[in-house]
Amino acid sequence: MLVPPAIGESRQHGVHVHDVAEMTLVLDQRDLEIEFFGPAMSIVGFERQAQSTAEIEAVTKAQAALENGKNVFAFIGTQCVMRGVTVDVSAVWDGAAVDHGERAAQGSHAETHETHEKHEKHEKHEESHGDISAHYVFRCAEDDSPLVLRVGTNDLPFGLEKINAKWVTDSGQGASQLSTGNSQLTLR
């Protein structure tokens, strides 16, 4: 069983390359778990805590897209139903709107100091590379039909160029690099 990162925990996977995501799949009979990690820069356009309304909208839009498994995956050959999803965008948004201008305008030294500390925290976070992750659980039909997973609807999601995929099934394991012209994995 795959274990999603703890809420608020940002995970780093190997070399962080923009436009390249990682995906791990485990198929145990009918149960399919998928863990997806993508660079925040590729998914929302930045790698620090969202500060503006436009950045917050980009994060909530990406989160909604990831939560709807149909936006990310299509199954060919057999039917799989999503039974759960967990999306972690904490590398770029803690869920609270940030309003630096209004707090500083109030003139309180404590509030100004707090705003300065937030800016320092954002600057330190900008130096690191953040990932956005999603953990999916699917239940697939019980049959011997081939199970082919296509990632993305027409192209890879979020304009990604590549996805490094690793998988384990009852019959073996493998790895593949998905791209716009090659976005399918055959799992059984």
Helices (H) and strands (E) in the chain, counts: 4, 9
The CA angle 142-71-60, to the nearest 5 degrees, is 130
pLDDT of residue 112: 39
Question: Which strands sit side by side in the sheet containing 131-140, from one edge to the other?
Answer: 80-88, 131-140, 31-39, 20-28, 162-169, 172-179
Model's pTM, two decimal places?
0.75
pLDDT digits (tens, 9 = 90+) for 87-139: 999 999 987 544 433 333 334 444 434 444 444 444 444 445 689 999 999 99
Model confidence at 40: pLDDT above 90: yes
Report the pLDDT averaged over residues 46-52.
93
CA distance 157 to 24: 16
Which candidate, 181, 161, 178, places its Cα nearest to that of 39? 161
pLDDT of residue 154: 77
